[in-house]
Structure 1
Amino acid sequence: MTDESDALDAFERLGLTSYEAKVFIALHRLGSGTARDVASVTDVPRSQVYSVAESLENRGLLEIQQSNPIRYRPVSIEEAQATLEERFERERERAFEYVDTVKQESATEETQEDIWTVRSRDRVDDRVVDLLSQAEETIVFGTRLPALVTEPIKRTLEEQAAAGVSVLVISRTDEVRAQLGALEGVETAVPPAHRDDDQRSGRIVIVDDDSLLLSVVGDDHSETAIWSSDSLFASVLIQLIQASDEVQPDIN
C-alpha cells in the first residue's frame, strides 16, 4: 500500500515540488483550511504556504477563497488527475517534438553509424527476431547451439516462410536442423567442413542480402553480436560470406 512518502515522491515525479505535494495532500486531509491549518498538519512553514498555494492555484490544483484569513480548498482528486495528465501530455509532446526535429536534422548529416554492437543473450534474441521479421525475400539463419534457437525465433521463421519468404537454416548440429527443419517451409543445410573446430560462433542472420548479424559466445556463455542493415559494411560482408561458404544440402 502506498504511504505518504511514496505519494510525495510520485507527485514530485509528476512535476510538483515537495512543498506543493505536501500542501495538496494536507488540504485533502483537511478538506479546506487556512495557511495556519495547513502548517499545523505538515512541515511546510506557514510563511511558505501562501506562495505554495498560489503556485498550486496556477496549476489548477486548488481554489483560493478571498476571506480573512484566506482559505484554500483543493480541487477534486478526479479534476487533479485530469489536470496533471493534460500537463504531462503537453510536456511529452513538446519534448518529443524537439527530439524528432533533432533526429530529422541529424539524418541529413553525412556520417552514419553502420555497425552496432549488442550484448547479452536476451538483447541478441530480440535483435535476431527484429531482423527476421523485417525480411521480405530471403532469410539465412545459422547456429551450432540448440540453446540459441528460441521459441520466438522459431515462430518468426515459420511465419516468414508462410508469408513467402525463402528461409534457409544452416547448422552442423543435428538437433538444430531437426528443430527448424520441422517448421513448414523452412529448408536446412550443412555448413562447410572447415567449420568443424568452431567453438565460439553464436548465430548468423542474413536478411534480404542487406542486413547481417553475427554473434560470438564467450567462455562464460555470454553472447555478443554485431549487426548492420542497409549499409556498405553489411553488403560487402554478406558477399564475402556467400562467396566462401558452399553449404551442403541436408539429406536427413
Structure 2
Amino acid sequence: MATEESEAVGAFERLGLTSYEAKVFIALQRLGSGTARDVARVADVPRSQVYSVAESLEERGLLEVQQSSPIRYRPVGVEEARETLRTRFENEQERAFEYVEGVREESDTEERQEDIWTVRGSDRIDDRVVDIVSGADERIVFGIRSTDQLTGEIGEILEELAAEGVEVTVISRSSAVRNRVEEFDGVATIPPADDRADDEVSGRIVIVDDDSVLLSVVGDDGGETAIWSAGSLFASVLIRLVEANTEAPME
C-alpha cells in the first residue's frame, strides 16, 4: 500500500471507520463500482470479508448495493461521504460531551479540591492568563517583565474589563510596557518596589479579585513555567504572600 493511501486509511480510522471499511471504500472510489471479487483484487481485504464490510458501509450510508448476480457495490460521491462522516462525527461529539458536561456538573456539587496547577510554555501561559482575567469581577493586578508577555488578546481583555468597571493595574519595571499600557483606557500602570530591582527570575504575576492567582518564572534557557490556582485556600494564601512581597497597591 502506498504511503499516501496508508495515511488516508489511518485518517478514515480516526473518523470512525475500521481499516477494512476504509480500504473497501477507497477501492470502490478507484473502481467506480465493482463486485466483491473486484474489490478484493484492488484492496488489501480478503474477498470473504468484503461482503460484511460492504454491508457495514451501506449502513453508514457510504455505499449502495445493486442486487444483481453477482452483487455489485457502488460508493456514494466524495462530497456526500464527506457530509455523512461530518454529521456522524458531530453527533458523536455532541453525545460524548453531553455526558462529560453532566459528569462535570455532578462533580461541581462535591467539595472542591485545593489544587495548584502547573503550566509550561509561554503560549500556554498566555492562554491561562486570558482565562483567569476573563473571570474578573472587581480587580486585576498584572505584573510583567516585557511587552512579549502582554499579547494583543490580553491587552484587549484588560481594556474591555476596565471599561466594565474592573480595577486593572499593570506593574512593570519596563518603560516600554508602561508606555504601551498607557494606551489602554482605564488601565493604571506603576513600577514595582525598588527592592525588586535585582529580580531576574520572576516572569508574571496575575491576581484576579481575591481568589485567582498565577505566578511564573523564567529559566536560564528562556522557558517560562507558571503555577496557578483559583477558588482555593492555596490561591488566597498565595495572594496574601504576593501582596506582602510586592508592596503593590492592591486595595
TM-score, normalised with respect to structure 1: 0.84
Report the alpha carbon displacement of residue 119 of structure 1 after superposing the two structures with TM.
0.9
Q: How does 1:134-173 map to 2 (within 5 A)?
A: 134-173=135-174
Q: Could you say which residue in structure 2 is the equivalent of 1:60?
A: 61
Shift of residue 220, structure 1, vs aligned partner? 1.3
| Distance (Å, rounded) in 1 between the aligned partners of 2:40 and 2:215 | 63
Name 1:231's counterpart in structure 2: 232
Q: What SS is found at the alignment partner of 1:132? A: helix
Deviation at 1:146, TM superposition (A): 4.1
Q: What does residue 120 of structure 1 align with?
A: 121
Residue equivalent to 1:90: 91
Alpha-carbon distance in structure 1 between the residues aligned to 2:32 and 2:134: 56
Cα distance 1:113–1:182, how it changes in 2: closer, same or farther (>3 A)?
A: same
C-alpha distance in structure 2 between counterparts of 1:38 and 1:153, whole Å: 56
C-alpha separation in 2, matches of 1:241 and 1:184: 26
Alignment of 1:68-217 (within 5 A): 68-217=69-218
TM-score (norm 2): 0.84
Render the CA deviation track for 1:180-202: whole Å, top value 9, x for unaligned.
23432222223323222212111
My pick for the range that moved more, 116-125 or 94-103, is: 94-103
CA distance in 1 between partners of 2:49 and 2:245 (Å): 76
**1:196-237 CA distance string (max 9 Å, x none):** 221211111111222111111111121111111222222232
Unaligned runs of at least 5 residues, structure 2 = none
**SS at the partner of 2:105?**
helix
Letter in 1 for 2:192: P
Q: Aligned Cα RMSD in Å?
A: 2.5
Residue 247 of structure 1 and its aligned partner are, at CA, apart by: 4.0
Q: Please report how far the alpha carbon of residue 64 of structure 1 lies from its aligned counterpart in structure 2 after TM superposition.
A: 2.6
Moved more, 118-127 or 172-181: 172-181
Letter in 2 for 1:158: E
Deviations 1:61-100 (A, max 9, x none): 2233333222223333344333323322332223223322
- 2:11 counterpart SS class: helix
Q: Which amino acid in the other structure matches residue 9 of structure 1?
A: G
1:42 to 1:183, Cα distance in 2 relative to 1, 3 A:
closer
Aligned pairs, how many? 247
**Amino acid of the residue matched to residue 93 of structure 1?**
E
Secondary structure of 2:49's match? Answer: helix
Question: In structure 2, how many angstroms separate the alpha carbons of the residues matched to 1:223 and 1:74?
Answer: 52
Distance of aligned partners of 1:68 and 1:100 in 2 relative to their CA distance in 1, 3 Å threshold: same
Q: Distance in 2 between matches of 1:75 and 1:166?
A: 59
In 2, the alpha carbon distance for the partners of 1:48 and 1:247 equals 72
Unaligned runs of 5+ in 1: none
Measured against aligned partners, the alpha-carbon deviations of 1:137-169 in whole angstroms (never above 9, x if no partner) come to 211111233443333333332232223222222
What CA distance in whole angstroms lies between the structure 2 residues aligned with 1:137 and 1:16?
A: 51
Do the aligned partners of 2:114 and 2:233 also contact (CA within 8 Å) in 1?
A: no
CA 1:206/1:234 → structure 2, altered by over 3 Å: closer, same or farther?
same
